[in-house]
Amino acid sequence: MTIEDLTRLQFAVTTLYHYLFVPLSISLALFTALLQTAHLRRTRRGGDDTYGRLSLLVGKLLMTTFAVGVVTGLVQEFQFGLSWSSFARFYGDVFGPTLAVEGMLAFFLEATFLGLWWFGRDRLPALVHLATIWIVAVGTAISAFVILAANSFMQNPVAYTIDAQTGRARLGSFSELLFNEVNLAAFPHTYAGAVMAGGALVMAVGVWHLLRGDYAEDTREFAAFRTLSRFGAWALLAGGGLVALSGDVLGKVITQVQPMKMAAAEALYRTTTGAPFSIFSYAPLGSDKPTFSLEVPGFLSFLAKGSFSAQVLGLKDLQDAYAAQFGPGDYVPWIPVAFWSFRLMIGVGMFAVLVAAAHLWVTRKSRVLRPDRRLAQGLLWSVGLLPLLPLAANSFGWIFTETARQPWLVFGLFKTADGVSPGLTFAEVAASLAAFTVVYGALAVVWVKLAARLVRKGLPEMPAPAPAEPAADDEFVTTY
């Protein structure tokens, strides 16, 4: 393993670990705001505080997740100076503004208003308190959009010029950078994936409490957790639908700007009209023909260009074209990783959606889960795996996005091998990777223990409402 390989592994480990918490923070902020809005509407109509208690539970999970996500995000940014200083020098003028905006959103806007939401719940007026969590929800979405703009530059560089004296990329238009066509397609896809991750988590919490049998079916707590499980299932189902629609758009955009990536997703070596999509395929390493393949005719052409009879460029033709355009070199990514990460992203995500649909069917109308104790114990073990499905699908998606772009850091502009910090030694990268792994392992244990403790406690009690301010006359009488 070379220094470049180890540095890429380090970045992959820290980035994928960080991204376990990002989609949960985004979706849990949205869910907390929606549940609290429902609570306010319901209490004004004389209803109970079920939605308010659910919003507190989800909000506590949000605060725990947000804190860990901030810490892991700092490590990820630290890596640019540690292991990728050559890339940071080249890309810093473009990447810097996005990090600055995201930092202000994450550390100032989101953290500040999340603190106001938590500490002001029994002090702020109801509408003001609701506004604080909606600001957090909107802030996380804006933060994701800005960071994705930076990544979209790496997929499709726009809004830049190359300084003739320094050789560095300089930002031309921040708005053009934000509204990169790749970002406009990637943001809804990523946000929908986040909704799936959060939906699976809250669905698992609700199902876990229902299956434990601690609450009788006629209690408010049982009804509340049934509501939470179905809320999460609907979120997972809706997120899955949006992922499919936005993924179709994103695939066509990527085909235009990175045709090699779509060819790698199918291991399509030869340019083909009406290219099929393989559900499963096997080929010996080094072979450009599968020995067995289960295919959907024309479906890759549809994914790439919207027509079942469209022509899709193959890896060999693209390799020749890139060699003529960029100079000699190997421009084909690692095909097995691109091929299987693409399918695992789709397959695992679809399985999570099917689980959500099954739960909604089983609990339709007034029906509830009524397994016997043996089945319940078995299901309790499997419920813990449910939140991992969308998170795994998200991770496979990012693995495909980044590895199928290789050998480029910025497609067509800057190669990965040129971005590694000069003078970096193998021992330094290995030591930092080991340190990050230990720290991240400790953070994982902390997050799991805190989240499990919050879930086991059940629904928190609603705080007393903020006291009404005395009228001017009452204040005068009280004072004098």
Taking only the tens place, the pLDDT of each residue in 321-343 is 999 999 999 999 999 999 999 99
Helix (H, G, I), strand (E, B) or coil at 390: helix
What is the average pLDDT across 230-251?
95
pLDDT at 54 over 90: yes
- The answer to pTM > 0.75 is yes
Average pLDDT over residues 278-294: 73
Q: Which residue has the tokens 């809706």?
A: 238
**pLDDT class of 179 with cuts at 50, 70, 90:** very high
pLDDT value of residue 191: 96
Nearest CA among 302, 258, 251, 257 for reference residue 276:
302
Go through 301-338 and write b for each residue having 16 or more CB atoms within 10 A of its CB, e for each that does not. Answer: bbbbbeebebebbbbeebbeebeeeeeeeebbbebebb
- The pLDDT value recorded for residue 168 is 87
Q: Mutual orientation of helices 3-44 and 426-457 as an angle, nearest 10°?
A: 20
* Alpha-carbon separation of residue 417 from 7, 86, 259, 465 (angstroms): 10, 10, 21, 59
Give percent helix, percent strand, percent coil of the chain, each to the nearest 5.
70, 5, 25
At residue 479, does pLDDT exceed 60?
A: no
Average pLDDT over residues 121-140: 92
Sign of CA dihedral 220, 225, 230, 234: positive
The continuous run of DSSP H or E covering 318 comes out as helix 315-326
